[in-house]
């Protein structure tokens, strides 16, 4: 008996990185996974990987910040047991380097998108008799990180939404928690280094990895393992919590 046998899980931003690892992990433990992403090609690749491993999944392509598109996608689910709000984008820059359009771009995905998914997901879970929600926050929600003004703002909002939903819907059998990763090695990191440090990627990668006391970046699979536990019935007594997964970075603060 696997932890998610007979359950339907939805994962946003499941086309790559942490989201793909979470979708694969939940599917490997028996869940049917709704692979949600703005990129059809990326979502289809996640679907292929899940099915190649014997799992079950379906693809739903939409922008989490688009109200009508998201509602239409969630309407196709009919029920929901697990929701992982993972979709998110980043911005590097302090306050004076952050333009209004930067703020709006991050708000559209990281805040408005999470709100939309929570609104639709909680409605389905109430009808299904309960469920588990895991939101992807960040240590940036708790710590002052240099040059992460807009990103920190959005992740602070994710933490606040997590606590609010946990309190308001505990009587409906709905648990809501979040995870707060530090730096995780994903395609985003590689793309950032290639764009900003051409020819020095290896040097900068080592510097970023050394920023965690544990001496390396996290792996998407490690975040996925934590998410799977929090979402499972093994964590049935846990709600309104924020889990750091940061290689000891908060020890430096």
Residues in contact with 15: Cβ distance below 8 Å, sequence separation at least 6, in sequence order? 35, 37, 38, 39, 41, 42, 43, 45, 46
Residues 208 and 116 both lie in one domain: no
Residue 197 known to be catalytic? no
Q: Which of 107, 151, 197, 243 does the annotation list as catalytic?
A: 151
Q: Is residue 170 part of a domain?
A: yes
Q: Is residue 77 part of a domain?
A: yes
Mean residue pLDDT across the chain = 96
Q: What total number of domains does the chain contain?
A: 2
Residues 113 and 15 both lie in one domain: yes
Mean pLDDT, rounded, for 143-157? 95
Residues 239 and 124 both lie in one domain: yes
Residues 112 and 78 both lie in one domain: yes
Residues 188 and 178 both lie in one domain: no
Cα 235 from Cα 215, distance rounded (Å): 29
Residues 149 and 47 both lie in one domain: yes
Residue-wise DSSP of 178-236? EEEE--B--HHHHHHHHHHSTT-HHHHHHHHHTTSTTSS-B-HHHHHHHHHHHHSGGGT
Q: Is residue 36 part of a domain?
A: yes
Range of the domain at 71: 8-182+220-246
Residues 206 and 165 both lie in one domain: no
0.85 exceeded by pTM: yes
Identify the pLDDT of residue 196: 85
Per-residue model confidence as pLDDT tens digits over 87-133: 999 999 999 999 999 999 999 999 999 999 999 999 999 998 999 99
Q: Is residue 85 part of a domain?
A: yes
């Amino acid at each position: 008996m696997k932890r998610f046998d007979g359950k339907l899980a939805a994962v946003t931003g499941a086309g790559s990185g942490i989201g793909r690892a979470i979708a694969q992990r939940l599917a490997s433990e028996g869940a049917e996974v709704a692979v949600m992403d703005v990129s059809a090609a990326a979502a289809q690749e996640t679907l292929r990987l899940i099915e190649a491993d014997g799992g079950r999944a379906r693809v739903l392509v939409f922008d989490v910040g688009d109200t009508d598109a998201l509602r239409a996608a969630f309407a196709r689910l009919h029920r929901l047991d697990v929701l992982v709000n993972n979709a998110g984008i980043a911005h590097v820059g302090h306050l004076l380097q952050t333009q209004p359009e930067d703020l709006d771009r991050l708000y559209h995905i990281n805040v408005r998108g999470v709100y939309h998914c929570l609104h639709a997901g909680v409605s389905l879970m109430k009808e299904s008799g309960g469920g588990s929600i895991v939101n992807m926050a960040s240590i940036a929600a708790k710590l002052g990180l240099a040059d992460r003004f807009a990103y920190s703002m959005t992740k602070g909002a994710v933490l606040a939404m997590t606590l609010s939903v946990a309190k308001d819907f505990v009587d409906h059998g709905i648990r809501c928690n979040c995870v707060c990763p530090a730096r995780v090695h994903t395609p985003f990191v590689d793309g950032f280094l290639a764009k900003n440090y051409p020819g020095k990627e290896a040097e900068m990668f080592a510097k970023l990895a050394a920023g965690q006391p544990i001496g390396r970046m996290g792996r998407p699979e490690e975040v996925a393992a934590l998410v799977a536990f929090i979402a499972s019935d093994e964590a049935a007594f846990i709600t309104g919590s924020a889990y750091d997964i940061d290689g000891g970075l908060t020890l430096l603060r």
